[in-house]
Amino acid sequence: MFRDPYGRTRSAGTFATEREAGRAADRQEDAVAQGTWIDPTAGRITFEEYAVKVWLPSRHLEVTTRAGYQSYLRNHFVPYFGHMRVARILPTTVQAWVTHALEHGLSPRSIAKYHVMLHSVFARAARDRMIAYNPCENTELPKVVLKKTRILTPTEFESVVAAMPARFHALLLTDIETGLRWGELVALRPRHIDFLRGTITIEETIVEVSKKDSPTGQRMIVKPYPKNDQTRILHVSQDLLDTLADRIAALGLGRDDLLFPSREVAHGQPLSRGTFNTRFWRPAVTKAGIDFPVRMHDLRHAHASWLLAGGADLKSVMERMGHAQIMTTQKYLHTLPDADIKALAAFQIIRRRGDA
């Protein structure tokens, strides 16, 4: 017999001699002293019970992140791992899930994203001394092939605006000039605009989740701070300020009304991303003759790319976009179609200068 980390008496097993039993107990006590002891009964819990009832409730997560994790568990992990005991899930089991997911249509990028969460589940189980190691370590993931991002040009953007119903022109013009995330864009209110200083303050966001994953049962949840908890103040053009002033006056919006509600009325409800994409954005992109996939979110990418192409420095663009890391901003360098041509022209200018 030996005592576990909680002081409870445990059996080290049954042996043929007292000496063997004593040695086994000594090994267990050494493991307890070194902090490497694993409770053999703890790992009997199923993956579903541990992930859903222990791991997820213990995490301090944003609403959208928690909703995403609940969706991943429900759709990808519980159907495969749910009935298995945590201690019986081996690296080969995780590798088999990767193969299964790939065969059933998940992209390499999605598999890599989901694997990060799965790794977190087992990392917590290892810290809880339920398992000796994380079975997600050294998993062979399918290669993610990075494709060059195609960014809307200013001319293409204007063609999309022309194809969009007039009620959404102000929304598109605001997004292209500010690079806001969708939740930040639809959370804008007149009180966020300083017409004297020519700025817009980003201090709220609206997140949209499915009702089954919402903690309040509501699809639209207003958060009093944007992503990364960073309030931002953006300078905008006088043309945009005039457009927004006309909109506020035409709709009779109060200080706390939404600028871009689902219906063109004061005190309107938040505009749904899914509804906007299906009914308005995609038809407008098709009508404009854009021959490559373009999401509404790509206006944010276009904003950053246009800034960098126009000579703005990385640090300023990073702060304007609300990026937590400058590496995120760097990916927008050289994304316009003629970026490589301009780079070659710059090279030739210097080369000719050297010849002269």
Query: Residue 107's domain is classified under what CATH number?
Result: 1.10.150
Assigned domain for 315 exists:
yes
Regarding whether 50 and 162 lie in a shared domain, the answer is no
Assigned domain for 354 exists:
no
Confidence of residue 136 (pLDDT cuts 50, 70, 90): very high
What is the predicted pLDDT for the residue at 42?
59
Q: Say how many CA atoms lie within 13 Å of 15 toward its Cβ.
A: 13
What is the predicted pLDDT for the residue at 139?
95
In the chain, pLDDT over 90 holds for what percent of residues?
Answer: 49
For residue 356, pLDDT beyond 60: no
Number of domains in the chain: 3
For residue 341, pLDDT beyond 70: no
Assigned domain for 118 exists:
yes
Six token digits for residue 344 = 């070659």
Assigned domain for 144 exists:
no
Q: From CA 269, how far away is CA 350, in angstroms rounded? A: 56
Cβ-count burial 87-111 (b if 16+ within 10 Å, e if not): bebeeeebbebbeebeeeebeeeeb
Assigned domain for 234 exists:
yes
Query: Residue 190's domain is classified under what CATH number?
Result: 1.10.443.10
Regarding whether 158 and 51 lie in a shared domain, the answer is no
Assigned domain for 138 exists:
no
Assigned domain for 139 exists:
no
More confident residue, 3 or 334: 3
> What mean pLDDT comes out for the span 91-101?
96
* Structural domain range at position 254: 154-339
User: Which of 39, 34, 30 minimizes the C-alpha distance to 6?
Assistant: 39
For residue 113, pLDDT beyond 90: yes
Regarding whether 225 and 114 lie in a shared domain, the answer is no
For residue 351, pLDDT beyond 70: no
Regarding whether 165 and 53 lie in a shared domain, the answer is no
Regarding whether 95 and 223 lie in a shared domain, the answer is no
Q: Could you give the dihedral angle defined by the CA atoms of residues 277, 281, 287 and 291, in that order, rounded to the nearest 10 degrees?
A: -80
Domain final residue, candidates 73, 108, 127: 127
Regarding whether 246 and 117 lie in a shared domain, the answer is no
More confident residue, 53 or 336: 53
What is the predicted pLDDT for the residue at 192?
96
Assigned domain for 346 exists:
no
Regarding whether 163 and 118 lie in a shared domain, the answer is no
Regarding whether 289 and 174 lie in a shared domain, the answer is yes
> What mean pLDDT comes out for the span 178-183?
92
Regarding whether 64 and 18 lie in a shared domain, the answer is no
Six token digits for residue 307 = 């800034």
Regarding whether 115 and 159 lie in a shared domain, the answer is no
Region of poorest pLDDT, from 6-20, 68-82, 279-293: 6-20
Regarding whether 92 and 173 lie in a shared domain, the answer is no
What is the predicted pLDDT for the residue at 339?
61
> What mean pLDDT comes out for the span 145-162?
87
What is the predicted pLDDT for the residue at 9?
84
Regarding whether 66 and 106 lie in a shared domain, the answer is yes
pTM assigned to the model: 0.72
CB 191 within 8 A of CB 256: yes
DSSP helix/strand/coil, 200: strand
Tell me the per-residue pLDDT of 224-264, one tens digit each, with 9 for 90 and over.
Answer: 777 767 788 999 999 999 999 999 999 999 999 999 999 88
